[in-house]
Chains A and B, each alone.
Chain A
């Protein structure tokens, strides 16, 4: 269903994994080049992080809206954006990825996912 979205994002230099995840934490579709990553487990965690970020935004800014959630670790980044009412799109990257480029690709593909759900 989302093969093109996943392939498009995996083409970006430094992107190691992509997942389309329902906000309930269900992995709809995903792929990771690192076989040690349990994508289903990560999907549930990503959905929880994104949802919790929404709650923080509601508490602090009085608006339940988040453009993007970025988790930065010395070993890499996980970037998540909303993909419609019921899903998020997330990528796992190397630490030195071109963030600007990843953001452009993420936003573009999130719109595609949203239109298909």
Chain B
């Protein structure tokens, strides 16, 4: 017999071992997320996928689906709080969208649009962060890093390398590169690595590819991230 849980009152099936977000995605229900990616080990750090499971706040990307769970996802309260968490990411880093090559194709920006975020709400940190343009093909702009660790995981789990790590504590966290100089050029990153393409923001970019898609034709210009995300994952499943 198929096991089921409900999300916002809708009954959806799941298989043992699935997380809530996996069950939701398979059933065509979008739960906002940034650090989650279906191809990699769940991380649970961005907290955008916070849902209420039987009244308790859980991260949908790490919490196992279980029979009869009553999950609240798309409520005004949760979306308002997700907006605040997104605003925290914006004020922590230096996200100047007009000057970022990722604009229009950026998940951080798109999730902000989806949550109808119009301002930063909190005071900005303006922390001084660097850019590492040393690599011939790939650029790191630390100003835009949100510590989702997708590049870390992609490098280990898919590329079979270990190019990235998160170092430091608390608000002083930063992306670190595994090379003697700490520079990307001295790492074994290749521009075709998954890790070079996985960044949900403009922190890791392939050089000489910016602004090639005209405004109006970019990923999120007309389509919201929920539709893009679900379509992408359906495509992935069919491709398997």
Q: Are A and B a genuine interacting pair, yes or no?
A: no
A-to-B contact residues, CB < 8 Å: none
B-to-A contact residues, CB < 8 Å: none
